[in-house]
Structures are given as C-alpha cells and as structure tokens.
Structure 1
Amino acid sequence: MTKPRWKGKGSAAKAVGEPMSKIVSELESSLINSDSKAFVSGCSVLLEANSEQTELLNRACFGHPIITSQQDQQWFRLCLEEAFYMFYFLKCLKIKGYDSSAKNEVELWHLMSSKREMFPELCKAYSHLRMKNWVVRSGSQYGVDYVVYRHHPALVHSEYAVIVLSDTSDDADERLRVWSDFHCTTRLCGSVAKTLLVLHVHKNGSGTNSPMCLENYNIEEWTITRWNPEQNREDSVFQFDERTDTQI
C-alpha cells in the first residue's frame, strides 16, 4: 500500500480524530431523521439538504453542491452509484417515486442501469470502496473511473486511480485489453503520483436483473505499477575488477 501524502501539518491527526466512518454515520442519522427528498435528473440524482446535512455531505464527500440563489436551501448533485449506495446500502436516501420496498428497489435499479453503461459493476466497485471507508470521487479528469482518498481531499492527496473491469465477454468497455493500454495508463498515473488500482468485477453468473445480484458479485483487486530498471541494475549487486573487467 502506498503511503498517504497529507496536506499540511496536523492533517493526519485531524483525520484520526474524525474518522470517515463516524462522519458517514452522522450523515446517515441526519438524513434518516429528516424529510429531505431526492429525485433522478438525467444521469444524476439531485438531493435537497438543510444546513446540517450540507455540512455532513461536504465532510463525507458525497455529491457536489449546486450554486443556487436560495439562502436556506442547498442542492447536491449525486452520481448514480453514490445515490444508489446511499439508497440501498445506507438506507438513508429517500428518492422521489421510490421507497425501500423490494419492488421499487428493482425499479430504481433498472432505471439507473439504463442510464449508465456498466452501472452494476460500477455500483459494486463504488460500494466495495466506500465500505472500506475510502472516499470515492470521479476520476474522469485522469481518464479512469474513480480516484480514492484515505480521508477528505482537503486533508490528503488521492492514492489510487481506479479502473473498473467486467468479466462479461461482450462488454463494450475495451480498456486495458492490450499492453499499450497498461503502459499509457500507468505512465499517466505515475505522473500524478497515483497507483493504478484495477477492480475486476466477477458476476459469477448472477446477471443484472436486480440489486440482489450485487451480493453474488466478487471483486479481484490488482495494483499495477511501472517497472523501474534502475532498481534492477546488475552493477548494484555485483562488483567488478576494473583492471580485468571481470566479475568478482
């Protein structure tokens, strides 16, 4: 595992004092005990938040705030995976037109699956990382699916650039199929001081008909780094006699 690169003195201590699991738990309680509503809008979910929830959403790094002219109301834009994670796994998000019944969970699942390619695999990967208390954000600026942080991005730099792959043979996503793809991606990750983390989602024949299939999916994790020839030079191991140019 790579070492965290903290932003400034005291950041590590602050992260220890305010663990992400505690912040997410506070957010859960606040949303469950409120009448805040959310609704699907295009390929995202819009969430109405009060001042307390706005602070917790920002601290827990869920969604992105939308600038409005309303002083006492804040809206957040959630990507489909994080909205479904909050709806299905945390049970704290109320999405308009859908409740926690099995029927409506399946309906929402099919709606979101129709809006984003590889939604089941991305949802599994997102929940996998979040359940390990990683902060997960979009990695589109680096050409990957996600970037993950040990804590809030204000305290620490992201450590991993994440690509999600599926074991479906007819998958339209052809990333990392040839060696040149690996080479280009690892060079990019190295240039921004991130390790490439590949999450290979195996469906195990479960299909994508309902969110229940996620329980049968499993994830294979790979970390991929570039080989540094300077770390494998023979002359760093062997000594040579300069007079005869032979190995001692």
Structure 2
Amino acid sequence: MVGRQGGHNKGGGRKNENNKIYAHPLPILFSEPPQTSLSHKLNAFLGINDTKVLNPHCHGVLDVATRSVWVTDPKDVRILWTRGFFGKGDLSRSEPSWHARQVNAMKAAAGNYLTSEEIREKRRNERKQFKLDRARALAEAAAEAEAAFVEGREAVLPEIPSGATWKPSAQSAAPEPGDDAPPSADADEVELLEEELLEDVEHMQLTLQEAFFLCWGLDCLTILDPHTSQSLSLQQIWVSLQQAFGIIPSLKPVYTISPEEERFDNPFLVNYAVYHHYRSLGWVVKSGIKFCVDLLLYKRGPVFHHAEFGVLVIPVYEDPADKLSSPYALANADPMSWTWLSTINRVNSQVQKTLVLAYVTIPSSSHVPHHTLSSPACLNHYSVREVVLRRFIPARMRD
C-alpha cells in the first residue's frame, strides 16, 4: 500500500536520535551470538538455530469501564512505547510525557525560559497579529487609493507587511517569562522539587485490541485482574474482552459469556480482525477518532512521519440473517450516505491522508461451527478487503 505523499517527515534534527531510540518495531527482541564464536559455528554446522528471543514480559491491569488495559510500571511503559508505539498516556495526547512536560514547566519557571507549549502559543499569537496587521494595511491602502482617485492626486500607499520582514510590535509581543515572576531558584532547589513534590501520576492505556495483540500475538503482556491482581489465563482474557462490549455493561471483568452475546459480530472481534491484519503487515496502528476514522496507519511511527492512511472499518455480514438477529449495532454496518462519506474523505484529504475502506466479512453462524468462538482460532474465518478512496479535485488532477 503506497500513500499519496509518502508521509510528511517529522523530527528534523532529532532523526538520528529517534532512529536509535525507536530502532525496534516490536517489544520482543532477537539476540544472536557473535558470528565468530565457536558455539555459533558449531550450531550452524549442525543446523541448529541459536537465536534467542528476549521477551520483556510486561504487565497491565484490565479496566472494563474504560475498555482498556492500564500499564503503570514506568519501565513497561517505556518498552511498549519505544518498541512499536503501543498505547497512549492518559494525561497526554499520545506518548506518555506528562511528567517530563511538568518538569520542563518547573524548570522554565525557575530558569526564566519558555516551554515548548509556550513557544507554540507565542508563535500562534504572532501569526494572528501578522494577519490582523496585514488586513489593516490592505484596508488603509484601498481607502487611500479610492481617496486619491476622487481627489485626482497620486496615491501614497502604506507599506504592506510581508511574512519575511514583519516583526511583532511591542504592544502585540507576548510578555517575556519572568516579568512578574519571583527570583529564579537555583538548580538544586528545582531538582529537589522534581524529586519530592512532582509525582508521576500518569499511566499508559492500551486499547483492548492492542492488549490482546501483545498478549496473544506476541506473548509479551500479562493481563491482571483489577481486584485480585492475579494473572488471567488466555481463555479468561478472550472472554472478558468480548464481554467488555456486552449488551449489559459491567464495571467488573466477566469471565463467562452468554450464548446470546457469543457471536461472530461481537465488536471486539470485528475491530481486532482489522487491527491484527494491519499490524501483521508491519504498520503502526493508532486510533483515528481525531480524523473521523477508526484507525490511522503509520509507516514507522508518530515520531517519524504523519499517518499516511485513515482506515474506516465497515462490517459486512456473510449471512444477512445474522444482522437481523444481532443484538449489536455495529458502526457503519448500514450503508452510509454520500454526504457522510464525502465529509470523512474531505477531512482526511485536508490533512494529506488517503482514506481506506476496510470491509470486514463476518462469517455466517450457519456455516461456521459455533464452538470455534471459544478460542482465537475463529479469527481465521474473518477476511479483510480494502478499497482506497480519494477525493477528486479537478484543479489538481488535470493530468
């Protein structure tokens, strides 16, 4: 799958550093002994593979109320984010960086410099002021030209601000930090505040699809019961994740599922089939709710490129009778209007993303034995078909 623009690069001067930090695409690592070692040569001669799998064995707690798995150990959080960009911080937009941002804010207050958020806000205010000054100058120039035409004289036009030469005025410039701030503290006091007063209260949230992929697909995540702190078996995880989307909501994990809710069109199964499909193809998959889609696909990860594709999951019943008897109201199961589809396509086109319609075929309950739902083996009966949809823009597509 090839994107329209290939994804916009991110990171700038930190590219080499990011390549080192995010060098591994998955939490599990593979270690091989030196090629020159005697044991490696002997194993190679005997046809023995001596590659070792380094499994981090992370831990998370199932939270049914938020339909997520919470990872609180900072070491596990770091591993899951830097090796595959799994999860998000509950107090951050993406990477769990709340603590680092608070430390930077404290240092900025003590050291009399701007944080990255304050710099961004200052630039936005300056751009806004530039547009106002330019609009005011254009209005004055138009008024002067009209007056000169009426009076029969040569117009004296004011200078129109240019983006390359415009500078913010003293009135519009943002106040510098420290104007009304107390005297700056020394580094020791700041470090003491960081250690004693600033507690890291942020945790990572994994979606149920991410958690099951790490647990079942990679076997590097152990999910714990929130009340007993006991590790759950694969069967308990399989049932509880489906039950999280049950007809009757529950605030506690349920490890048994009723026959009415054990269906092939369970929302967890439908969405996980798509998530596993793209993860197995090497894409980094994140939530796309910001752009009116279900998933976003990154080639390497959010720190390297913007997402190239926005994926809209569309369930398709193999047997229409299953849809009539379903207790679930799956999103996009009914044909969407052209107005709604055009709206989604335009939103993604404006942010340079290609819209992908992922049609998930839900197997017929009359053809596939019902007992297959008792294990993840039922996922073999789902299929994913993709249709790429692009917005037609006559001015840009004349060739």
Q: What range describes the TM-score normalised by the shorter chain of this pair?
A: 0.7 to 0.9
1:107 paired to 2:132? no
- Secondary structure of 1:201's counterpart equals strand
Q: Which has the higher contact order (CA 8 A, sep 6+)?
A: 2
In structure 2, relative to structure 1, the CA distance for the partners of 1:176 and 1:16 (3 Å cut) is: farther
Deviation at 1:41, TM superposition (A): 4.0
Partner of 1:119: 268
In 1, Cα distance between equivalents of 2:206 and 2:397: 46
Q: 1:217 Cα deviation (Å)?
A: 0.7
- Is 2:56 the partner of 1:31? yes
What is the alpha-carbon distance in structure 2 between the residues aligned to residue 124 and residue 20 of structure 1? 27
Q: Structure 1 or 2: larger strand share?
A: 1
CA deviation after TM superposition for structure 1 residue 122, in Å: 0.8
Residue 288 (structure 2) pairs with residue 139 (structure 1) = yes
Bigger drift between 12-21 and 117-126 goes to: 12-21
- Matching residue's letter, 1:147: L
Report SS of the residue matched to 2:216: helix
The whole-number CA distance in structure 1 between the counterparts of 2:293 and 2:214 is 23
Change (3 A) 1:20 1:167: farther
Separation (CA, whole Å) in 2 of partners of 1:100 and 1:20? 31
Cα offset, 1:178, TM superposition: 2.6
Q: Displacement of 1:195 after TM fit? A: 0.5
- 1:130 and 2:155 are equivalent in the alignment: no
Q: Name the TM-score, length of structure 1 as normaliser.
A: 0.76
Where does the alignment leave 5 or more consecutive residues of structure 2 unmatched? Answer: 31-52, 91-97, 100-197, 226-230, 250-264, 324-328
Determine if the alignment matches structure 1 residue 204 to structure 2 residue 363: yes
TM-score by length of 2: 0.50
SS in 2 for 1:88: helix
1:214 Cα deviation from its structure 2 partner: 1.0
C-alpha displacement at 1:108, in angstroms? 2.6
Q: Residues 92, 11 of structure 1: CA spacing in aligned structure 2 closer, same or farther, 3 A cutoff?
A: same
Identify unmatched segments of 5+ residues in structure 1.
Answer: 237-248
Question: Structure 2 matches for 1:1-248, cutoff 5 A?
Answer: 1-2=2-3, 3-9=6-12, 22-26=25-29, 29-32=54-57, 36-42=59-65, 43-51=67-75, 53-59=76-82, 60-66=84-90, 70=199, 75-97=203-225, 99-101=232-234, 103-114=235-246, 118-168=267-317, 169=320, 170=323, 171-174=329-332, 177-205=336-364, 206=368, 209-210=373-374, 211-230=376-395
Distance 2:348 2:373 in 1: 35
Aligned partners of 1:112, 1:85: CA distance in 2, in Å?
Answer: 16
Displacement after TM superposition at 1:201 (Å): 0.8
Query: Is the CA contact 1:26–1:56 (under 8 Å) kept in the aligned structure 2?
Result: no
CA distance in structure 2 between the partners assigned to 1:150 and 1:113 by the alignment: 30
* CA displacement at 1:155 relative to structure 2: 1.4
Q: CA RMSD in A?
A: 3.3
Q: Aligned AA for 1:62? A: F
Q: Once the two structures are aligned, what percentage of the paired residues are identical?
A: 23
In structure 2, C-alpha distance between the alignment counterparts of 1:196 and 1:132, rounded to whole Å: 18
Greater CA deviation, 5-14 or 175-184? 5-14
Seen in structure 2, the aligned counterparts of structure 1 residues 22 and 219 have a Cα distance that, compared at 3 Å, is same
For 2:223 and 2:68, locate their aligned partners in 1 and report how far apart those are by CA, in whole Å. Answer: 12
Contact 2:28 2:218 (C-alpha < 8 Å) held by counterparts: no
> How far is 1:186 from its partner?
0.9
Amino acid at match of 1:65: G
Whether contact under 8 Å (1:138, 1:146) holds in the other structure is: yes
CA contact (8 A) 2:242 2:268 kept: no
Kindly provide the amino acid, as one letter, of the partner of residue 243 in structure 2: L
Cα drift, residue 188 of structure 1 = 0.9
